[in-house]
């Protein structure tokens, strides 16, 4: 048995193509969807992510700007920048690249972003709406996973979904989406984390296993039930002298071992990563439609 590969790259392109007519309608009426990304410091991984977001905007005919701030920028100055973007009617989406420097109060920053421009879906307002099952901007990575499950006709209803990781970016919102009382959800959800006892035995109960723990190849074949669907959110750089850049990307799942046990699995790269960008673009276009009073015809 060899698992079906859940291709996020193909679905990402479909989602991006679907945005083009919506963007064209906005532009025709004088609204150019615009994403503003704030980054503090010059962390190579963060810079790479920000660059990929800018390129995605460019490909779609959207506008983007990167606000580069020194790593030592104080919180007051950062909040002033956010306030300016909130007040700018030409800006529709705002995000602050994670992780932030340790001297910055992440909660205060997220609370400062206008919920109607919170295209990451991380503000308390949008997270609260998500938990309550109300309309909101959904965090991009979990929302991409939901789209991937739907595209591949994997219905979570009645299934046991186990999520390894409890971050506000993936684990918690993922749990909230999967347990909603609605079509495409209705799963029974267990969330494991660093204090979970007998994690391997819990993981092996999963019909749908989602790994978002940030540890290379943490999930081995012994942790996966035969026939399970495995979603690998991890993107880890591991040293590789043979690779052109001196490293290669691996997930939180031991792909080669687990694909022999699972029914379906996402690769790294080529799985969840590009879907995150596609969902960010979707949220930004939606924000532009909302703020301009133009509603999608789709």
Active site residues: 53, 97, 120
First-to-final CA distance of the chain = 40
Angle at 214 between CA 160 and CA 79, to 5 degrees: 105
- Do residues 97 and 71 lie in contact, with contact meaning Cβ atoms separated by under 8 Å? no
Nearest one of 11, 13, 15 to 148, comparing CA atoms: 11
Helix axes 8-28, 140-151, angle to 10 degrees: 110
Query: Quick one: which H or E segment has residue 203?
Result: helix 199-203
Asked if omega into 269 is within 30° of 0 (cis), the reply is: yes
Residues 6 or more apart whose CB falls under 8 angstroms from that of 75 comprise 103, 104, 105, 108, 109
């Amino acid at each position: 048995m060899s698992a079906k590969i859940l291709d996020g790259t193909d679905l990402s392109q479909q989602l991006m193509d679907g945005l083009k007519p919506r963007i064209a309608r906005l532009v025709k009426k004088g609204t150019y969807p615009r994403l503003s990304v704030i980054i503090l410091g010059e962390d190579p991984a963060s810079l790479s992510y920000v660059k990929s977001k800018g390129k995605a905007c460019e490909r779609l005919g959207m506008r983007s700007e990167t606000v580069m701030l020194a790593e030592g920028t104080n919180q007051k100055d950062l909040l002033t920048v956010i306030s300016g973007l909130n007040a700018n009617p030409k800006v529709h989406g705002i995000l602050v690249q994670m992780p932030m420097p340790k001297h910055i109060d992440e909660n205060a920053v997220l609370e400062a972003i206008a919920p109607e421009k919170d295209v990451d879906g991380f503000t308390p307002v949008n997270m609260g709406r998500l938990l309550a099952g109300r309309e909101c901007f959904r965090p991009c990575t979990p929302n991409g996973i939901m789209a991937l499950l739907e595209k591949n006709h994997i219905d979570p209803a009645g299934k046991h979904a186990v999520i390894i990781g409890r971050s506000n970016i993936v684990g918690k919102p993922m749990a909230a989406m999967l347990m909603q009382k609605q079509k495409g959800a209705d799963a029974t959800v267990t969330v494991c984390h660093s204090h979970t006892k007998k994690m391997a035995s819990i993981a092996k109960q999963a019909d749908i296993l989602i790994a978002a723990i940030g540890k290379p190849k943490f999930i081995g074949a012994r942790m996966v039930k035969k026939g399970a669907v495995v979603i690998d959110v991890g993107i880890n750089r591991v040293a590789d002298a043979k690779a052109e850049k001196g490293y290669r990307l691996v997930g939180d799942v031991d792909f080669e071992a687990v694909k022999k046990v699972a029914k379906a699995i996402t690769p790294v790269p080529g799985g969840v990563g590009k879907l995150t960008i596609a969902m960010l673009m979707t949220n930004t276009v939606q924000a532009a439609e909302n703020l301009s009073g133009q509603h999608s015809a789709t």
